[in-house]
Structure 1
């Protein structure tokens, strides 16, 4: 099945699960887990000898324990900076001591990691693809990521959730940063102790994520087929869901792993079996390609009844009701009689409620965001507007991404005449 057809079967907003491969694809300065630790080791010692010594000692059951390597490097980094206050890493020491003086628990190693990952400079050859990636945000419910950098929340303009914030969150329009973020270095999860502590507290976060996985399609980006993060997610789901149930089939059908294959332009999805210790073989859907644009365009092209961000707005109002906010209830048969309060939540028949939340001025003010996201669903509201001939209105741009504007040609003539009049008066 082609990717466009596969994605078109989604009935709900997909969740993106984003791994290191996405940052490596789009950012000039990004690292694999090994690459990040090797970089710190080199900057600290002037060579990678120490790193490879530790790597040699941290092989267990055929796999390298990068969490243990990180623990060794963290200790070495701390000792080096303690003994050389004014050296190469003076700025890291400055931040550390300033934080401690202000009662903020701090960690030199993680401060430096945050500095290394702070750049969001894009690769020039990926700018077109990044623009396509941004357009998917209007149809994405939320993002889960193990990445520390701020690429996703900056691109999508989503709210990052770190640590305990994940437990008290509104999922729509959020980025769940389950391994921490450079904005709060002390919460980065990278060493063995970090992971031990995380695993002890993970049950509550697991329950929150499980709800997302059961009710939404999941698209994995930036992971390989054998990645432990994917296997752990599948373990989480099928520990609580009977593998042979209808619910399990629905979940499997909604799973899509996007696996990178250099140079491939494939748009075909296929089934793939994953062996997980303690479970029978689990079958998911996979696409192996280098054509990420087709995937992004398929997600952005989804036609859903309401955008993810509008759901977030409604959930925020409902949350305010739960919290005991100042709520006024009005019962009326005439929606036009409602006063223009700060927030209005309308419940009723779809025949009596129209989807109107953008004025003409708001649409003009949000022009660049609408164009960037190709938000054609929103632009259908133009058919409800009465646009005066004397009014400037960017109909040419809007019509380029929405072909269902009824009076597009009439509006274009109006705008051309306005421009001609301006030129005559020069």
Structure 2
């Protein structure tokens, strides 16, 4: 199950949005998407959202669960249904967790093909965008087959279907897609445009050197594509996004490493990155530098920080270690195997300022211990 969830996280970079009838928070916690309930769906950014069309445990009053609730939903929320239909018609859709006879699937298809002639070219394009992944116990098949769905008195619709018990391979296939522009990048751009549209501060800079601009600036570049290039993530930002990159196995973004100038004095974790993206230039040199940097940091740690604790909480509550030395103690225990790497990962994920030197040192030590060979 853990391996399956790990693969599920990796598809985040290639997923625009999720529509679910589940009430729990599993999906938004895994994908870190914004949950949308009820009328919030109408004002939503379709990228990076979880459409919880039957409500959520966080807002019990809006949960749709009884027959009366469903009848009310069908009659009252026409605009929401229209928005969802637009998403279904214009995007590739993977149905998961539903059976072929599920009424939600049938209702959706019936509504779509009320507006689209089932025998038209448009209908064929829509069908090609649909893939139903149906659970079949102990099946390892990943063959895509065509399946006819009888919409009771309306029409028979043919869609693509996989029946399997191995969802991990399905997730891997989605994760391995190389898109010209990832859904993650589109989400970033839309958030920037939304901020500007809402009245964010706008200023004009005329520059011939894009690298001189602050990476937090919102930039519209005018000129030839041959002369304008901009890397949207610096090496420091990549370190801050270390775990997201690993979760998503995002090899595309790691190609930027070959464009960076990484100094000898700079902390940079390359071991995990080199597993995801095997074409990093000078990788042997980078690994040697990383080991040397971490070892140098370890050598400078005072004896008072070399406490024998097997948990980070134990270090943080140890009054013999000063506040300014807590992270040095965590670094020393991480490097010397005193702490579980799972706990160190949690500590790093929750680190308040990922631009701080302590974060970078501990991260590089963690990277060596977890992925070093």
How many angstroms apart in 1 are the aligned matches of 2:91 and 2:245?
A: 25
Q: What RMSD in Å do the two structures reach over aligned CA positions?
A: 2.2
Aligned ranges 1:157-168 → 2 under 5 Å: 157-168=32-43
* Residue 134 (structure 1) shift: 1.0
Do structure 1's residue 246 and structure 2's residue 121 form an aligned pair?
yes
- Return the match for 1:141 from 8, 16, 38: 16
How many angstroms apart in 2 are the aligned matches of 1:215 and 1:353?
A: 31
Change (3 A) 1:342 1:335: closer
Aligned length: 301
TM-score, normalized by length of structure 2?
Answer: 0.75
Which residues of structure 2 form unaligned runs of 5+?
302-373
- Residue 150 of structure 1 corresponds to which residue in structure 2? 25
- Residue 80 of structure 1 corresponds to which residue in structure 2? none
- Report 1 or 2 for greater relative contact order, CA contacts < 8 Å, sequence distance ≥ 6: 1
- Residue 207 of structure 1 corresponds to which residue in structure 2? 82
- Residue 374 of structure 1 corresponds to which residue in structure 2? 249
Q: Give the match's secondary structure for 1:309.
A: helix
Change (3 A) 1:250 1:384: same
Is residue 116–residue 122 contact of structure 2 (8 Å, CA) maintained in 1? yes
- Residue 235 of structure 2 corresponds to which residue in structure 1? 360
After superposition, what is the alpha-carbon deviation per residue over 1:323-351, rounded to whole angstroms, capped at 9, x for unaligned? 44443456766645656664334466543
- Residue 260 of structure 1 corresponds to which residue in structure 2? 135
- Return the match for 1:224 from 99, 102, 105: 99
- Residue 371 of structure 2 corresponds to which residue in structure 1? none
After superposition, what is the alpha-carbon deviation per residue over 1:81-140, rounded to whole angstroms, capped at 9, x for unaligned? xxxxxxxxxxxxxxxxxxxxxxxxxxxxxxxxxxxxxxxxxxxxx111111111111100
Q: Give the match's secondary structure for 2:77.
A: helix
- Residue 170 of structure 2 corresponds to which residue in structure 1? 295
Q: Give the match's secondary structure for 1:176.
A: strand
How many angstroms apart in 1 are the aligned matches of 2:105 and 2:187?
A: 27
Change (3 A) 1:359 1:338: closer
Is residue 135–residue 163 contact of structure 2 (8 Å, CA) maintained in 1? yes
How many angstroms apart in 1 are the aligned matches of 2:28 and 2:101?
A: 26
Is residue 317–residue 345 contact of structure 1 (8 Å, CA) maintained in 2? no
Do structure 1's residue 279 and structure 2's residue 154 form an aligned pair?
yes
After superposition, what is the alpha-carbon deviation per residue over 1:143-185, rounded to whole angstroms, capped at 9, x for unaligned? 0000000000011100000000000000101000000001111
After superposition, what is the alpha-carbon deviation per residue over 1:24-65, rounded to whole angstroms, capped at 9, x for unaligned? xxxxxxxxxxxxxxxxxxxxxxxxxxxxxxxxxxxxxxxxxx
* Residue 299 (structure 1) shift: 0.4
Change (3 A) 1:339 1:192: same
How many angstroms apart in 2 are the aligned matches of 1:282 and 1:166?
A: 28
TM-score, normalized by length of structure 1?
Answer: 0.66
After superposition, what is the alpha-carbon deviation per residue over 1:182-212, rounded to whole angstroms, capped at 9, x for unaligned? 1111000011221122112231012111221
After superposition, what is the alpha-carbon deviation per residue over 1:234-284, rounded to whole angstroms, capped at 9, x for unaligned? 112112222222221111111100010111110111010101124321110
Q: Give the match's secondary structure for 1:391.
A: coil
Which residues of structure 1 form unaligned runs of 5+?
1-125
How many angstroms apart in 2 are the aligned matches of 1:300 and 1:252?
A: 22
